[in-house]
Amino acid sequence: MKVTMPGLTAADHVFTVPLDHADPGGATIQVFAREIRDPARTGDLPWALFLQGGPGGKSPRLTGQAHWRHVLQTHRVLLLDQRGTGLSSPVTATGTDEELAARLRHFRADAIVADCEHIRKALGIEKWETWGQSYGGFVTLTYLSRAPEGLSACHVTGGLPGLDATADDVYTRTYERVRAKVARHYRRYPGDDERARRIAEHLAGHEVLLPDGDRLTVDRFRTLGKKLGMGDGSERLHWQLAEAWQGERLSDEFLYAVMAETGFVGNPLYAVLHEPIYSQGAPTRWSAERLRPADFDTFEMFTGEMIYPWMFDDIRALRPFKGAAEILAATGWPPLYDPARLAANEVPVAAVVYHDDMYVDAGLSLDTAARVGNVRVWVTNEFEHDGFRVAADQVVPRLMRMVTEPL
């Protein structure tokens, strides 16, 4: 299907790929992607592949050129709904827990890269560039480890992973950064600590139900802190807290917003695979839960991008995945990165590292940049994790220039 919208034309593609690329004659799934281009740019333009953040995030749905304006001057862009997301075959909680866990093992970055290579060859593309946002940068490093011959250049925005960092390494650092973001929020908005404490105390002493019937617990309320890693996250959290009450009860507006923000509807993969993306052999064993510092249990403290076992009991969309999630947390995973191959990398890579990133540790990112060949890094504190979305006119052209600059 072809669609025309302001400043671009779009064509939809659906590809049939093996669920398990090691078993090409076995079960198959479908992967959806949307090709966009500037209608004013004619001819056979080179391709750029967008790898969304997540895990479990679908590609953005565009109504115009948005942050792709600069790339579309020279390229056509393929917006990939990674397997299990968006219009690609959905992940459903069918079969036994063991069968579901076995199926979910085919949804990490290694399988996504195999899908990308299948699609590249199906479209007759010799090589393409990639743009990896957040988790899309993790996928990029797996791509460079597995199939660099398909890549002409890579751009990474806030997503260089630690090559051999364990889930415990990641969450030890993450708790420190979340603590700093919460403290910064309370300095910016004095009184929000009292507002948060009042809500948490109310939830601890009363049964408050969300519109879908889930109970809003203190732990679920604390997860609203996840947005503090975005440029406008502190402002959005402040107004949520300031406008939470209607008399002596929490308002319907507040409860609907919390349900939507914390419900994982349409995106269970984010929760199920969030710790496994950091596994390089050993099981994660619910790393965020094991490493949770005591001060994160106080009423005014928020959490961030952590996934906890209680979520698979308390959140409606995740309950069907509980048994499989327990199996996956106790299971080792194969490595996603090849340090030796990455050290010898010749594909130009340009990466922006956000110095104060709450989700991706800058220290681990810079360590990786030093260990991967042909990488150019821009470190900045001008933006939070969403710099690619909110400041595309600054971020995109700079990364495009960087891949052509000599080291």
Nearest-angstrom CA–CA distance, 34 and 82: 12
Q: What is the largest CA-CA distance in the chain?
A: 65
> Which residues, including other chains, have CB under 8 Å from residue 298's CB and lie 6 or more apart?
none
Contacts 24+ apart (CB under 8 A), 206-215: 208/250, 208/255, 210/255, 210/256, 210/258, 210/259, 210/263, 211/252, 211/255, 211/256, 211/259, 212/259, 212/263, 212/316, 213/316, 214/259, 214/263, 214/314, 214/315, 214/316, 215/314
Which residue is catalytic, options 134, 234, 279, 365? 134
Known catalytic residue at 185: no
Query: Among the options 20, 38, 193, 357, which is catalytic?
Result: 357
| Residue listed under structure tokens 């390229």 | 75
Q: Please indicate whether residue 357 is annotated as part of the active site.
A: yes
Instruction: Enter the DSSP assignment of 320.
Output: G
Across 61-94, b (16+ Cβ under 10 Å) vs e yields ebeebebbbbbbeebbbbbbbbbbbbebbebebe
Burial call 327-337: b when 16+ CB within 10 Å, e when fewer: bbbebebeebb
Q: Is 252 a catalytic residue?
A: no
Alpha helices in 125-232 (DSSP H): 135-146, 167-188, 192-205, 218-222
Which helix (H) or strand (E) is 153 found in, with range? strand 151-157
Asked if residues 58 and 52 have their Cβ atoms less than 8 Å apart, the reply is yes
Q: Please enumerate in sequence order all residues whose Cβ is within 8 A of that of 42, keeping only pairs 6 or more positions apart, or say none.
A: none
Facing residues of 90 across strands? 84
Cα distance between residue 127 and residue 131, in whole Å = 14
Gap between the Cα atoms of 160 and 155, Å rounded? 10
Under DSSP, the state recorded for 59 is P
- Rounded to whole angstroms, the Cα distance separating 314 from 149 reads 45
Residues marked active site are found at 134, 357, 385
